Structure 1
Amino acid sequence: MTRQLASALLAGALAFAVADQAGAACSPENWQECEGKPWVTGKAETPIGSKWWPNPQWGEGDEAGATNWYTKPEVVRRGLAEADRGRAYRIGRPYEADMPLFGSRKFSLRIPGTPTGGPFGANRIIWHDEFLATEVGQVGTQFDGLGHIGVMIGREGDKDEMRFYNGFSETEVGAPYGLRKLGTEKLHPIVGRGILIDVAGAKGVEMLDAGYEITMADVRAALARQGMADFRFAEGDVVLFHTGWGKLWKVDNAKYNSGCPGIGMEVARWLSDEVRAGVVGADTWPVEAVPNPDPACAFCVHQHLITRHGILLHENLFLDELAADGVYRFLYVFSPAPIVGATGSMGAPLAID
């Protein structure tokens, strides 16, 4: 974890502890008393509210979550209809050792021998291979899978009460050589309509400040500026937020990792309950605002979207070109790498208008 982020989280934790000592009931130890907090849905049966399993949309045992939308022809056709100009944008970033990395994550690529093999045959063929050591689903432009984020409901260490999407427990999911459930191989290829919400552009700034929480008022203002005030979102839409934070990528990695602007629970609930999005993404590393305005919330948007609703997150996207060209509607294409038991996926998402 970066020093800046660690300091921010520690400051939040200390403030939270002081508030708790002063009589505030909601705390990590007393999460049952957090009812009414933005991240708690319904009754506080769990630290994020009422039980979320079985999934009401996709049913008991489902492991594909919101990528199920992209098995529906009408959702795919809606996306394809946006690709009328024939311009393709690569909205993922190159993978390299000096890119910003969260915490202690690493990216190390080696070429074994130069060349790796050969020559063979009368034509004397030679070749290169590579060896890559990294968190394959959690570096660079990363797509968070359903096995990435969960909730500890019971006592610490009780794997039967660590719950993930659709109620799968850590006992069912966890394994050292790949997740037994909710691996990225269970996700469907994604071909759908993409919508860019340029919040930085609407506010007339190059980038939003770290910790700035995007509100529904911001969303409406951005859509109005984009000529989309009356736009009707539909289930399975891919919704991406341009904050400008990506301008720090490989320019000031320490600042990039120290926090970021992003959505909060108000917008997260709109995405899950009204839009019924399939994928949510941004040009930041967690999509949500860090630090959160409420120090008691630790990546609660992740839990709401991924764990409760099975909505996938696409992080560290490159969205500056789309914003500069005023491309707000497009065909979004991404197929998560089917690595059995992986928690997420690297890859090269495309936006085609």
Structure 2
Amino acid sequence: MKKYKSILLLLLLFAKVEAQEVVGISPWGPNDEIGTLNMMTEASKLQILSRIASGKSYDLSVEYFVGMPSFHALGDPPYQYWLTHTPNGTIVDNPNGMGEAMNRKVSYTGDAISMYTHMGTHIDALNHFGLNGKIWNGYSPEEHLGDKGWKKTGAETIPIIIARGVLIDIRSAKGERLLPNYRITAEDIKEALKKQHLALQPGDVVLIRTGQAQYYQQASEYLDNYPGISLDAVKWLVEDQQIMLLGADNLSLEAFPPERADNWVPVHTYLLAEKGMMFIEQMNLEPLAEDRVFEFAFIASSLKLRGASGAPMRPIALPVNKLK
């Protein structure tokens, strides 16, 4: 009996170790700031670009507009837009000193925006979430966070992304709208891939369609109990399939309430802090799904916002020829 108790205690200790969440140290070196995006090479980019089948392209981003979905519930500012110059206002104010005749001839419109960096289609940088006081690769705020942003892993470090992209259409595979707060499992992803006759490859950019982008123009519906990916599904993609980047069409990738009692964003911290994998949120995957384009060349670039924890991004997909 004593022997079995020892074995049980040992198993419990192992289980406790497995459940611990700790910041990952990069296999790409002590100065790494881009994590799994290091998987891209000139050869891998050329390989997928050489398979482009036509000039057809798909815009995977959403529009920015006043009233768009946002994280204002957490205290972050909503999207704001205002005009700084209008044709008639220029005539009245004469800001350029050119006079009424010139300003009536040459109309002038100018505008400005104010927004949270995690609005619309955007990528989360590796400094967005950390664990136990540190972010990816062990960087600490005491050493690397200044009043003007992070000195490490800021959005300005994110390279242009060119890779094989794969759409995993969970919404179509299920055949109906996903239930509120539904957590997409690894089995859901495997089932969808089987229906799409597609296999993942190391270094892929994987985009998860929940169908939530259909409601993007109505913020209240888009934000309402949206479905998302589960921790076990993400672990299967990262650890078993060795993908490079993840994206989805919902507000925050994962579903809420959180599936762990000790972490309110376990998918975020697993990807960003533990594995060094960035991800893209609030994508528009409807055009790809409508045309059943499941494999493509994925090309994306984000704004180089120095020190920022995220940045707007406009990804595109270019369909590719199937390999023989």
For the residues of structure 2 that align with 1:34 and 1:181, how far apart are their CA atoms?
Answer: 35
- 1:299 and 2:265 equivalent? yes
TM-score, scaled relative to structure 1: 0.77
For the residues of structure 2 that align with 1:169 and 1:301, how far apart are their CA atoms?
Answer: 21
The AA in structure 2 aligned to 1:240 is: L
- The C-alpha deviation readout for 1:154-177, integer Å capped at 9, x for no partner, is xxxxxxxx1101110111332332
SS state of the match for residue 131, structure 1? strand
- Matched with 1:264 is 230
- Matched with 1:134 is 115
- 1:42 and 2:36 equivalent? no
- 1:93 and 2:62 equivalent? yes
Residue of 300, 303, 309 corresponding to 1:334:
300
- Matched with 1:215 is 185
Structure 1 residues 316, 43: closer, same or farther in 2, change over 3 A? closer
- Matched with 2:53 is 84
Structure 1 residues 299, 78: closer, same or farther in 2, change over 3 A? farther
The percent of aligned pairs where both chains have the same amino acid is 29
Residue of 163, 170, 173 corresponding to 1:202:
173
- The C-alpha deviation readout for 1:61-89, integer Å capped at 9, x for no partner, is 2112222233x112212331442132111
SS state of the match for residue 130, structure 1? strand
SS state of the match for residue 111, structure 1? strand
How do 1:300-319 residues align onto structure 2 when only pairs under 5 Å count? Answer: 300-319=266-285
For the residues of structure 2 that align with 1:169 and 1:268, how far apart are their CA atoms?
Answer: 25
Structure 1 residues 296, 327: closer, same or farther in 2, change over 3 A? same
Structure 1 residues 176, 211: closer, same or farther in 2, change over 3 A? same
Q: 2:259, 2:266 within 8 Å by CA — same for their partners in 1?
A: no
CA shift, 1:59, in A, is 1.3
The AA in structure 1 aligned to 2:85 is: G
Name whichever of 97-106 and 290-299 sits farther off. Answer: 290-299
When Rg is computed on C-alpha atoms for both structures, the one with the higher figure is 2
- Matched with 2:5 is none
Name whichever of 74-83 and 281-290 sits farther off. Answer: 74-83
Structure 1 residues 240, 43: closer, same or farther in 2, change over 3 A? closer
For the residues of structure 1 that align with 2:96 and 2:51, how far apart are their CA atoms?
Answer: 47
Moved over 4 A (4+): 115-120, 122-127
Q: 1:213, 1:292 within 8 Å by CA — same for their partners in 2?
A: no
- Matched with 1:19 is none
For the residues of structure 1 that align with 2:200 and 2:68, how far apart are their CA atoms?
Answer: 37
- 1:108 and 2:80 equivalent? yes
For the residues of structure 1 that align with 2:200 and 2:206, how far apart are their CA atoms?
Answer: 13
Residue of 113, 121, 130 corresponding to 1:150:
130
Aligned residues: 296
For the residues of structure 1 that align with 2:255 and 2:49, how far apart are their CA atoms?
Answer: 31
CA shift, 1:347, in A, is 2.6
- The C-alpha deviation readout for 1:111-133, integer Å capped at 9, x for no partner, is 2121476587x997664333221
Structure 1 residues 167, 259: closer, same or farther in 2, change over 3 A? farther
The AA in structure 2 aligned to 1:107 is: Y
Structure 1 residues 34, 222: closer, same or farther in 2, change over 3 A? farther
CA shift, 1:34, in A, is 10
Unaligned runs of 5+ in 2: 1-11, 320-324
For the residues of structure 2 that align with 1:254 and 1:219, how far apart are their CA atoms?
Answer: 27
Q: 2:86, 2:110 within 8 Å by CA — same for their partners in 1?
A: no
TM-score, scaled relative to structure 2: 0.83
Q: 2:205, 2:244 within 8 Å by CA — same for their partners in 1?
A: yes
Q: 1:212, 1:261 within 8 Å by CA — same for their partners in 2?
A: yes
Q: 2:300, 2:315 within 8 Å by CA — same for their partners in 1?
A: yes
For the residues of structure 1 that align with 2:226 and 2:232, how far apart are their CA atoms?
Answer: 17
CA shift, 1:258, in A, is 3.4
- Matched with 1:169 is 140
For the residues of structure 2 that align with 1:257 and 1:295, how far apart are their CA atoms?
Answer: 22
Q: 1:147, 1:173 within 8 Å by CA — same for their partners in 2?
A: no
Structure 1 residues 342, 78: closer, same or farther in 2, change over 3 A? same
- Matched with 1:249 is 216
The AA in structure 2 aligned to 1:248 is: Y
Residue of 233, 252, 255 corresponding to 1:289:
255
The root-mean-square deviation of aligned C-alpha atoms, in Å, is: 2.5
Unaligned runs of 5+ in 1: 1-32, 154-161
Q: 2:24, 2:276 within 8 Å by CA — same for their partners in 1?
A: no
